[in-house]
Each structure stands twice: as structure tokens, then as C-alpha cells.
Amino acid sequence: MGVVDDLGDDLARRTIEAMDETGNDRFYMEVARVIAASSPTLQEAFMTSIRVRLAAQRAARFIDGTLRARREGGAAPEAPKDLAPPGASGH
């Protein structure tokens, strides 16, 4: 990673920690505006890291919930239904 990516990822990690502590799940949008006021390049690196880290957290919770349901019984979480299967959308 380059310096911009490293800085963006560090800010993303710290922002997610702050979101967890404060319970404000939209705090990253405020941080993004602060960054954008000085560096759109850093803001893009930050937003990429935030999106990737939040998606990874959601995926981990889904996996954990599915395994917990299998081991303990009960309903497993459902994957979002509004997304096309991987590869189907062309993105």
C-alpha cells in the first residue's frame, strides 16, 4: 500500500472503533466530510477502506450467525435478497 492507502485505512480502522464506542453507525460520513475538505484523494482511500471493513464485519457476523444456528439450533441469518448472484451483474 502507498502512504495515502495506509493513512486512509488507519483512519477507517480508528473510525470504526469510534463508531463501536459511540453507537453512531454513520460517524464515518462525518469523518469523510472532514477529510474531503482537505484531500479528496485521502477521502477516496478512506471510503474504500470503510466500505471494505464494514462489508467484512457484516460477512463475519453472517458466518458466525450461520454457524451458531447450525450448532445450537434456530434460524440462520438470511443473506440480502436484492443482490444478484456473484458475476451476474457484471460488476
Write down the pTM of the prediction: 0.80
Instruction: Quickly count: other Cβ atoms within 10 Å of residue 45's Cβ.
Output: 23
> Angle at Cα 12 formed by Cα 51 and Cα 63, nearest 5°?
50
* CA gap 60, 2 in Å, rounded: 27
Q: Whose grid coordinates read 460520513?
A: 29
Tens-digit pLDDT profile for residues 26-77:
999 999 999 999 999 999 999 999 999 999 999 999 999 999 999 998 888 8
